[in-house]
Amino acid sequence: MNKKNIFSILISGIFFIIGLFIMFYLSKPMSALNIIGFSFIIAGFILYYFIERKKKQLFIFLLFLSFCTILLIIISVFFLFKMHVFLNTKQNYFYTNKILPILISYDGIRWQTQNSGTNKFLCGITYGDNKFVTVGQNGIILTSHNSKKWLKQRSGINNCLSGITYGNKIFIAVGNNGIVLTSIDGKIWRKHNLKTIYELNGITYGDKKFVAVGNSGTILISSDGIHWEKQNLVMNKILLGITYGKKEFIAVGDFGTILTSYDGIHWKKQKSGILHYLWSITYGNGKFIAVGNHGTIITSINGKIWIKQNSKTTYELNGIIYGNKKFVVVGNFGTILTSSDGIHWEKQNSEINDWLWGITYGKNEFVVIPRK
């Protein structure tokens, strides 16, 4: 092997590695980064061919090009399917005939199950006006004054509802196709059509305003829940959760995305130090804590510098809340974690194997909803 061979292999190899890294580690399915990564791979082969001038290598290049194209399509379809499941873009993937349980606990350690009365998966839950309200598949809404007996309310829609919050004496639920529902009492709901087709995944209340987040970097703000303004962000991130604390909004999303804002209008991207999806975030005891895929837990006291903590699990963590002087996290396969400081975590026995998706705190008790 002469110097020319070494040079051609080295140059083309660098392009191959960069291309594969972009395609399979940085990019999202069907995104522009896939095209960029693929272009690097093609460029690597072209450079190798022009340096070596061998027809055999050109034939191998064409074969590899065809293989990469097929592989890219398969991987993209697979991940799109997976994303549809998690992001509610298809409502029937988690359909089950089993009546799903609702978990309640006064201390976050000992848990008991209650009958939800529904087999539809639940995605969001909140507490306000002396009652619990949970939302989910096919526009289902359940309310309870004691967390034990749940009543089904009419939403008037068939969209999947992903998030709900309470503030300014009003409940607001958000979901697929930019749907927003408002209610004063949790029983009678009013639909509002927004100028967005994207899924809304989370919502919070703070600083006398509601802020909702969703796919394609969607951020909407409203002072009354009826009139909404869309914020123009030059980004294509999937925003999954949002909270308010220390006079600051913090949103989390795909690939470790963290955005901060003091007014809900001007947003700044922060470095999380991770590339996993972050599904939920809360504020309590002077710190922000976000949770996500592969047992990810990160903490911050200012929303800017984030520290990864040891959760002692690799399961997906989907929800978090602060109450009764402790943080409680819920996740797949019945995972429940508790911590008083957000650093040291203990696993609790939920005695079920369902995917736990949301959690809230009210009336001195934690209430957890399942999704599967």
Dihedral of CA atoms 20, 233, 80, 60 in degrees, nearest 10, equals -20
Identity (one letter) of the amino acid at 219? I
Distance between CA atoms of residues 261 and 267, nearest Å: 5
How far, rounded to the nearest angstrom, does the alpha carbon of residue 280 sit from its chain's CA centroid? 6
Distance between CA atoms of residues 4 and 164, nearest Å: 63
pLDDT tens for the chain, 372 residues: list them.
555 555 555 665 665 666 656 555 444 444 445 555 556 566 666 665 565 555 555 556 556 666 666 666 666 555 555 554 444 433 444 445 678 899 999 999 999 999 999 999 999 999 999 999 999 999 999 999 999 999 999 999 998 999 999 999 999 999 998 999 999 999 999 998 776 778 999 999 999 999 999 998 999 999 999 999 998 776 788 999 999 999 999 999 999 999 999 999 999 999 999 999 999 999 999 999 999 999 999 999 999 999 999 999 999 999 999 999 999 999 999 999 999 999 999 999 998 998 999 999 999 999 999 876
* Phi, psi dihedral angles at 192 (to 5 degrees): -130, 130
With a CB cutoff of 8 Å and minimum separation 6, the contacts of 8 are 47, 48, 51, 52
- List the chain domain ranges: 3-86, 101-370
Best CA proximity match to 276, nearest among 236, 314, 235, 305? 314
* Tokens of residue 190, six digits: 């009013």
For residue 172, CA distances in Å to 59, 135, 352 come to: 59, 10, 30
Distance between CA atoms of residues 346 and 212, nearest Å: 31
Bridging pattern class, strands 122-128 and 131-136: antiparallel
Task: Indicate the pTM of the whole model.
Answer: 0.77
CATH number for 101-370 (one of 1.10.40.50, 3.50.30.50, 2.120.10.80, 1.10.287.3510): it is 2.120.10.80
